[in-house]
Structure 1
């Protein structure tokens, strides 16, 4: 019997039992995606790390209409890009975006992120308890930051958040396509505004770049808007939950703030997930552990399972902020390593550094078993995170 994604997860943060059993059997597994298509699931750390940076895999497919799909999302549920030019197109895209996410630019933004975080925590301190930490901090902070970086009006957040959530829908392709369309149209509006009144922001700088048309700028900008806040919202919520359910680690970080960088890497590594990871298509036959993946096959690179491979991370299910977890695969690997990783790391460091300092007695307000995970969107995450202090 073929195993089908997603794997049931009874408790947030814990690796699903079925995924744990599969990983114990080996690194490669025949599965079905949530829409019933055949795929390969790769769970071993070494194998996932290698294949994430393997030119024999890509996001495109020579016959996209008949390719297996990982879900109904129009963003990541099926093939993306031109099969003949994917590598060159991806290289060009990174060349255009990388200058806007250099370490220097991120350092320059840190003071502003610290100020935004402080304001949100001031507001949190005045709210009635228990309070949803997701809506108080995890959601607004990444949106505020990406708006500041791109030059997107924060007052538009309800509009574009609605569209990004629709675009990420993994069950309704029509809704996903409509969300992408609305988001792109909004990007076109922003580009027109920046052409007329440029500012010190990424969209304005892209508008000043030779060889870029307005539609391409709109597409790139909205991709950054989506990726720049959706995943950070999830990581902030899950990271807070990890710390709150491990009070010894919370207190260790409170007692030694210098551990914040290592703590963030462990927060990025530790959550157990069961959604299948990163989709790729084989562009040629690939042999792994005596198994042949045929050209055109869908391959799911489960970076979450890889992050819990005991061969790479001893005692992988323990949460230890002193662990050297910098080799985790949450941001990918190699040529497709997440451009926004430095920004995400900085946001997490600032947010948790201030949260623990300002609210040293914070605690989870409900049993962890009562928390619900989102299963309708690509990025998943907590529905809410009730806390008291």
Structure 2
């Protein structure tokens, strides 16, 4: 399962490339990345919209990726960055707008630092460790519901989506009635294309729900993140809404995609699954390897040069957009031994699945915690878990902001007594959301 595209031999002045999206293998990066990484590690990239002359740069080596993502001369400000794919809705003369107050993901210092500091306590290693009982409870509730099913189930809607949605909502302080509403609207925003009407409708619903929750938290702040924000007098309600929006949008779709795609990958690599089941102490290593090997942020992480910078022998001009190809960087043979092989025993530290630098995903500790609980628990409960559809019929999420599977029909050997393992009825989970590093 390796990239077999022919070598690309060109200089930085040659014809720009388009962002690779076609995949020969569902678990490998899009075709063409390996050749670019070897022969054109900083390649001119065709942009569809945004500032500049329609050409940016595509970075595919890990060392260059880490430099771009950690160098303050490369900005994450939304209005400065061009897009390597068309905007998700048809519109003429589209220009990326500045980030709204509180939407810290698309800001630079000092605004980014100020907002992130407000949130950090909940996402430290220690803070996330306190959530383990809650994560475990939610995981087993949904495994109970799966066990009650009488036929094949879609792992995406039965398990992969609802677990992170409920974890994030309990952390933030979103009550049960609002969870499915928010998740359904974030599912629209996680697509790579939608109509302007769909965009307006989804944003209107999300904004309305979150404003109601923020107002309620100011009256009665609870022991959750919305309560933290309500007690912070330095914030406006708009900032509180957008901070919650960024966290929920970034926490639903990403972890859900990793659970589903990670399960699919383990089912298709039975030697690695058997090793994980035989040696539970490998769970941390397995999680890191799945994050690196699969790298669901398939559209990369974009920055804009604030001044002229030399990178990989190429002069990046001030104002140029630079797209870091995270899937390509995470398969860099200069850093990882046998990088195209899924190996849960290997030391895969240094990957950039969560980005790198000050903008590294704030929820990475929480995502790891959910994966560490959910993946082993799934196979412990259903040791005979297997695909209920041929592998070549599994629909992949090439059309979403985060890669994964749209559906993953699975089945397992059920006990002879139909009452064994029965619990609450199976339910369809709410949909996902998205965020980009």
User: What TM-score, normalized by structure 1, do the two folds share?
Assistant: 0.92
Pair 1:40-2:88 in alignment: no
Change (3 A) 1:326 1:154: farther
Q: What is the rounded CA distance, in whole Å, between the counterparts of 1:5 and 1:34 in structure 2? A: 10
Shift of 1:80: 4.2
Q: Which among 255, 261, 265 is matched to residue 242 of structure 1?
A: 265
- Structure 1's unaligned 5+ residue stretches are none
More helix by share: 1
| Aligned pairs for 1:1-389 within 5 A | 1-33=15-47, 37-60=54-77, 64=80, 68-71=82-85, 72-73=87-88, 78=96, 80-81=98-99, 86-172=108-194, 174=196, 175-176=198-199, 178-271=201-294, 275-389=298-412
Task: Report runs of 4+ in structure 1 exceeding 6 Å deviation.
Answer: none
Offset at residue 15 of structure 1 (A): 2.3
Give unpaired runs (5+ residues) of structure 2: 1-14, 90-94, 101-106, 413-437
Q: Kindly indicate whether the alpha-carbon contact (under 8 Å) linking 2:296 and 2:404 is maintained by their aligned counterparts in 1.
A: no
After TM superposition, give the deviation of residue 150 of structure 1 in Å: 0.6
TM score, norm. by length of structure 2? 0.82
**Cα deviation code 1:192-235 (max 9, x no counterpart):** 11122221110011100121111111110111111111111111
Q: Could you tell me whether the CA contact under 8 Å between 2:59 and 2:65 is conserved in 1?
A: yes
What whole-Å deviation, never above 9, does each CA across 1:24-71 have from its counterpart, x for those lacking one?
21321112246694221100011101111110111226x75xx63234
- Structure label with greater radius of gyration: 2
Query: Measured at CA, do residues 190 and 351 of structure 1 come closer, stay the same or move farther in structure 2, by a change above 3 Å?
Result: same
Conserved 8 A contact 2:45-2:84: no
- 3-state SS of the aligned residue for 2:142? helix
- Compute the displacement of 1:307 (Å): 0.4
Q: CA deviation at 1:18?
A: 1.7
> Could you report, residue by residue, the CA deviation over 1:348-369 in whole angstroms, capped at 9, with x for unpaired residues?
0000121121111211222322
> How far apart, CA to CA, are the structure 2 residues paired with 1:73 and 1:279?
16
Match of 2:422 in 1: none
What secondary structure is seen at the aligned counterpart in 2 of 1:281? Answer: strand
Shift of 1:331: 0.8
- 1:86 is paired with a residue whose SS is coil
Contact 2:221 2:231 (C-alpha < 8 Å) held by counterparts: no
Aligned length: 382
RMSD across aligned positions (CA): 2.2
- Whether the 8 Å CA contact 1:70–1:279 is kept in 2: the answer is no
Query: What is the rounded CA distance, in whole Å, between the counterparts of 1:292 and 1:181 in structure 2?
Result: 43
Query: Partners of 2:297 and 2:349 in 1: how far apart?
Result: 22
**369-378 or 284-293, which deviates more:** 369-378
